[in-house]
Amino acid sequence: MKLLRYGAPGQERPGVLDNHGQVRDLSQHIADVSGAALLPASLEKLRALDINQLPLVEGQPRLGPCVGHIGKFICIGLNYADHAAETGAAIPGEPVVFSKWTSAVVGPNDDVQIPRDSVKTDWEVELGVIIGQGGRYISEQDALRHVAGYCVINDVSEREFQIERGGTWDKGKGCDTFGPTGPWLVTADEIADPHRLNLWLEVDGKRYQDGNTSTMIFRIPHIISYLSRFMSLQPGDVISTGTPPGVGMGQKPQPIYLKAGQTMRLGIEGLGEQRQTTVQA
């Protein structure tokens, strides 16, 4: 299934994509694509529905973030060896963990705001993992059973705020609109191997990122198990698993950063595409 949320910001309704690429309304069956609705038993009930008989949503509604009421938005840094190399960073011995504030979350095609005083706003296409069954001290062998599904994430980052202003990375990662999520949550049963997915990103039609999740340093079962040592994972938590090379700060002979009026387009094989316009905050 491809679960989604549609409607005006803050008023999104749950939906699902049918076999013809049309949005069908799910609000008679779940209140939102969030929390308990992502537990295995709930997803099984949704799979039993005849999607093509659900109410059709007319027109081209705005798509909101594919997960609502996110409790934790956890990110993994430097998780592709070739991306670490382009930034001049050493290969980490353990996953690099940071957070995006949930106020950063927006829909897949919403505008991305360049923060005031920003000089180094950058892009990062990433595979998002959405937790279904929560847990603590999860083993690697059981980790994928805790995954409800996968989605596209743009881990927009302000590099000066992140790296040059002291402290942790979080303030350069969590600015408003820095977390486009979606277009939909593709349930785990539809993704045969999340470690064999092509992912890419373009700015104004120029492709900068063109990678594959096979080059992750830490794979998804390890990431889930590792995080669950330090926190309980809960239904609807989102994990962003790192980006392949091609980010703006890694461009040669000199970095390239975003400015207002540009268009980012990005996608992951089997998970759909996003498209954002940058605007000045």
Q: What is the per-residue pLDDT across 21-56, written as a single tens digit (0 to 9) for each?
A: 999 999 999 999 999 999 999 999 999 999 999 999
pLDDT at 167 exceeding the cut of 90? no
pLDDT at 85 exceeding the cut of 80? no
In contact, 220 and 144? CB cutoff 8 Å: yes
Nearest to 186 by CA among 263, 106, 112, 267: 267
Residue 92 burial by CB count (10 A; 0-12/13-18/19+): exposed, middle or buried? Answer: middle
pLDDT of residue 231: 98
Could you tell me the pLDDT band of residue 86, with boundaries at 50, 70 and 90? confident
pLDDT of residue 116: 97
pLDDT at 257 exceeding the cut of 90? yes
pLDDT at 260 exceeding the cut of 80? yes
In contact, 238 and 128? CB cutoff 8 Å: yes
Residue 48 tokens, joined: 């039993």
Domains and CATH numbers, the chain: 2-53 (no CATH), 73-280 (3.90.850.10)
Q: Mean pLDDT across the chain, nearest whole number?
A: 96
pLDDT at 234 exceeding the cut of 90? yes
pLDDT at 89 exceeding the cut of 90? no
Nearest to 75 by CA among 95, 105, 92: 95
pLDDT of residue 56: 98
Could you tell me the pLDDT band of residue 168, with boundaries at 50, 70 and 90? confident
User: Could you tell me the pTM of the whole model?
Assistant: 0.97
